[in-house]
Structure 1
Amino acid sequence: MTMRTKMAAAAAWLLAGAALPALAQAQTQSQAQSQAVDPKIAARVDKVLQKTPLIDGHNDLAWEIRARAGGQVDKLDLRADTSHLAPPKDQPDAPGLMTDIPRLKAGHLGGQFWSVFIPPNITGPAAVKLTLEQIDIVKGLAARYPDVFEMAYSADDVVRIHKAGRIASLIGVEGGHQIDDSLPTLRQVYASGARYMTLSHAINNHWADSATANPEHNGLTPFGKAVVGEMNRLGMLVDLSHVSEKTMRDALAVTQAPVIFSHSGAKGVDDHARNVSDEVLKLVAQNHGVVMANFATTYVSAERNRWAADRSAEQARYNAPPFGGLYIGQPDKAKAALAAWDKAHPAPPVTLAMVADHIEHIAKVCGVDCVGIGSDFDGIGETPVGLEGVDKYPALLAELARRGWSDEDLAKVAGGNVLRVLREAEAVAKKLQATTQPSYATIAELDGAK
């Protein structure tokens, strides 16, 4: 999820307790039809995806099930079209979902890392409890739709499930706050099925700095480095999306296994805090990791990023409680003023081709072996034109094919690269488990009293 969307979730949690809202923002961009794809290119893409599982690094459907259905998997019918799903009462402008079974099948998805996100301001035992509940939602999807989904815990599982015609469901924990500063809890989250963990989310936690917060730890603390070491020993992928550049560099310096960026773009295309610099991309190449391109419009388009910053400043000028504003306490006037600004300053368009630009930039700097796809579907409020939902992955690969990508390279970006990283992490874990015992170090021992 984008920082704005997920922090909205955190604020709503604090204000409304367990009555969680839907988090997606209203889409302001029209849902344009994808351009027609050359039939020969479409056939090539289909052939690639028959052999190689298309693996998306990040989807927030599990959080939407909590937000829209109270976490009850049986109350949201994924066999139906969810694109026009009615919004929650407390989020009347929320769009429909980007994920459902018909569109997953149309998109030829072979594997999905489902995020088990919890707002980063929820910490301690409450975060652990909610994390386990989110894991239960993901497992509940596989139990309710066994003909469509099957839980996967290894690279071999993904390949086997894809060959059987089902979608391999993997679990990603989206923030180190979700383990409550505890290596034993990390191990139990892994035992529950999680195969990656993002080291931080939109705010700093006790041991890792975020990309979207002021530095607090100068990257990773000693305990944070111990977390990376234990993840290596377990075979759990270290995810560096959301973290600060210093945290990225610290993690890359200490990890013994390849890392992932589950949903990030290239700063060389759009200088957004959530994207990855060319200097770090070169380190990722040395690490043999993978950067999975995000579809969030402000991460994709530099022009859209600037527009969003200007709009946020304008919104704050009109009404920014508790700090005041021109129309503080006058929500109707504030809404009208922002609508007038929107009319005078239409949002710059963002397209599928721009996502392809990020993929090509990452491949140019880092190599074609370290790029993948991490859409952030159902965690972003709007999408690029041509990538409106999970049925659109083939169109993105077709755009790369149109630009001259070979079938071999299409297979790598679709899922081959992240499968390789998963296998390499499993191999590192096997070696470490033969020589290294689990760590019971505490944050107090390694970092001192906070």
Structure 2
Amino acid sequence: MKKLLYLLALSGLAFACSPKEEAIDYTKMTDEERLKAATEIARSTIMVDGHVDLPYRMKVGGFTLQREILDVSVRTPDGNFDFPRSKEGGLDAPFMSIYIPAVNQKIPGASKALADSLILMTERLASAFPDKFAMAYSPADIEANFAKGLISLPMGMENGAGIEDDLANLEYFHKRGIRYITLTHGTDNLIGDASYDTTGTHGGLSPFGEEVVREMNRVGIMVDLSHVSDNTFKDALAITKVPVIASHSSVRKFTPGFERNMSDELIQAMAKNGGVMMINFGGSFIDSAYAAGADKVREHIVNWLAENNLTRQDSAAQAYIQEYTAQNNPFPTVQKVADHIDHVKNLVGIDYIGLGSDFDGVGDSLPTGLKDVSMYPNLIAELLKRGYSKEDIEKICYKNIFRVWKAVEEYAASAK
């Protein structure tokens, strides 16, 4: 009996001392092997994108449930998002942007009315195609939908003007399914100052905006600091009791003078708060040279169209625009997006990074290799090439944003 126990002990010791299975070294793979591995990771891992402008695209494109104009349950010839391409790219939970243009702020009631209509449109998409899409109001919902093979449709409101001047609308929109609110958009609003506006109406958050942030904490809506001015950003961080997000922002170091992106100081402050910065893919967000070139190309094309009595819709104009743009201002590449992720990782760590593409919201400026939702594996492959681990990728894809979201949920539950 003792001999048997001794032999069992030896075998257990041998097992305990055996080296762990070595982690896969993706850096030693060929590009083809790495892309295959990246595709497998993308499709087997929950992937959240902080900002996809599909609802407004559906509004502009004439959304219909009868498949007459725009039906994203099937592959579409334009735009960046649809169900088949989402499945190819491994996208599982694109935050649907309930986008309120700044012009609506000038008309009392217009912002809230538009928000309600876009929310309804998103809900109708899920109800019309229940075998493909489902609403999601929590990380748990996304996990359940993922297990069923469904694309989750969480919602975030882009521009806090949607609440009008009534704090009670925050609880109303939470009940409607809104899980983050971008405090401002293109111009200053009642909540605070915007990055694109130089007016500095409030010098940061307004007194009303301070109450908005507190109430968002209380009801369980994530505070989104994309689009806000630096002063608004700092004011919000000083008030919030929970981590915040930037749903679609990139690194200002690569775009000097572009306040819409985040400075190193703001990135560090957000990390200290425990928040998550979700990287925007738009060409002007990731490459200042492309942004400058785009301005020159745009000016030339406007003049050329006028001289030739053409519009952008004319086939001859489209061919010329495509050729001229390619020759005079080549798109940035997927490597540029990886550079932004690298910078945030090196500055504050892997725990504060997410994806916020701005698909369907940045026009044709998207980089080569990231033109639509089918192409996330190209970015993942580039990160693997740079030494990122599978665990790093999982954090970027969903674990970091889930951590923030759950913290917001828990705080709201404790505040009730």
Q: Is the 8 A contact 1:44 1:407 kept in 2?
A: no
Q: Which residue does the alignment assign to 2:182?
A: 198
Contact 1:72 1:137 in 2 (8 A): no
| 2:59 paired with 1:66 | yes
Q: Does 1:423 align with 2:400?
A: no
Q: What is the correspondence of 1:341-380 to structure 2 with a 5 Å cutoff?
A: 346-380=328-362
Counterpart in 2 of 1:177? 161
The SS at the match of 1:116 is: strand
Q: Which residue of 1 aligns with 2:373?
A: 390
Distance 1:393 1:285 in 2: 24
The answer on 1:55 being equivalent to 2:55 is no
Paired residues of 2:155 and 2:180 also in contact (CA < 8 A): yes
1:292 corresponding residue in structure 2: 278
Secondary structure of 1:359's match?
A: helix
- Normalised TM-score (structure 2): 0.84
CA contact (8 A) 1:210 1:244 kept: yes
How many angstroms apart in 2 are the aligned matches of 1:189 and 1:385?
37
Q: Is the 8 A contact 2:35 2:377 kept in 1?
A: no
Distance in 1 (alpha carbons) for counterparts of 2:31 and 2:79 = 25
The aligned residue for residue 122 of structure 1 is 104
Match of 2:24 in 1: none
- The answer to whether residue 124 in structure 2 is matched with residue 165 in structure 1 is no
Paired residues of 1:74 and 1:144 also in contact (CA < 8 A): no
8 Å Cα contact 2:73/2:132 also seen in 1: no
Question: What is the alpha-carbon distance in structure 2 between the residues aligned to residue 235 and residue 247 of structure 1?
Answer: 20
The change in CA–CA distance for 1:286 and 1:78 in structure 2 (over 3 A counts) is: same
RMSD: 2.6
Comparing both chains, which one has the higher relative contact order based on Cα–Cα distances under 8 Å and sequence gaps of 6 or more?
Answer: 1
Alignment of 1:20-419 (within 5 A): 37-40=31-34, 42-43=36-37, 46-47=40-41, 49-50=43-44, 52-69=45-62, 71-75=63-67, 76-82=70-76, 84=77, 96-123=78-105, 124-214=108-198, 215-271=200-256, 272-311=258-297, 332=309, 346-382=328-364, 383-419=366-402
Name the aligned partner's letter for residue 180 of structure 1.
E
Q: Would the alpha carbon gap of residues 248 and 155 (structure 1) be closer, same or farther in structure 2, given more than 3 Å must change?
A: same
| Residues 284 and 366, structure 1, Cα contact 8 Å, conserved in 2 | no
Partner deviation per Cα, 1:174-193 (whole Å, 9 max, x = no partner): 00111112111121111100
Contact 2:174 2:219 in 1 (8 A): yes
CA 1:230/1:353 → structure 2, altered by over 3 Å: closer, same or farther?
A: same
Alpha-carbon contact 2:43-2:89 (below 8 Å) kept? no
Aligned twin of 1:12: none
User: 1:49·1:411 contact (CA, 8 Å) conserved in 2?
Assistant: no
Distance change in 2, residues 1:166/1:331 (3 Å): same
Deviation (angstroms), 1:345: 7.3
Structure 2: gaps of 5 or more residues: 1-29
Separation in structure 2 between the aligned mates of residue 40 and residue 351 of structure 1, nearest angstrom: 17
Is contact 2:248–2:280 with CA below 8 Å preserved after alignment?
A: yes
Distance between the aligned counterparts of 2:283 and 2:325, measured in 1? 19
Relative distance call for 1:80 and 1:163 in structure 2 (3 A) is closer
1:241 Cα deviation from its structure 2 partner: 0.7
5+ unaligned residues in a row in structure 1: which ranges? 1-35, 85-95, 320-326, 434-450
In the alignment, is the contact (CA less than 8 A) between 2:155 and 2:177 conserved in 1?
Answer: yes
| CA shift in 2, pair 1:247/1:148, >3 Å | same
**Greater helix content:** 2
Aligned length: 374
Report if aligned partners of 2:170, 2:219 keep a CA contact under 8 Å in 1: no
Q: How far apart in 1 are the matches of 2:310 and 2:40?
A: 51
The 1:151/1:415 distance shift into structure 2, 3 A limit, reads same
Cα distance change, pair 122–406 in 1 and its aligned pair in 2 (3 A)? same
Cα offsets for 1:273-303 (capped at 9, x unmatched):
2110000000011111001111111111111
- Contact 2:55–2:98 (8 Å) recurs in 1: yes
Q: Which structure has the larger Rg?
A: 2
TM-score, length of structure 1 as denominator length: 0.78
User: Aligned equivalents of 1:303 and 1:280: distance in 2?
Assistant: 23
Find the residue that maps to 1:391 and give its secondary structure. Answer: helix
TM-aligned CA distance change 1:173 to 1:333, over 3 Å: closer
Equivalent AA in structure 2 for residue 155 of structure 1: P
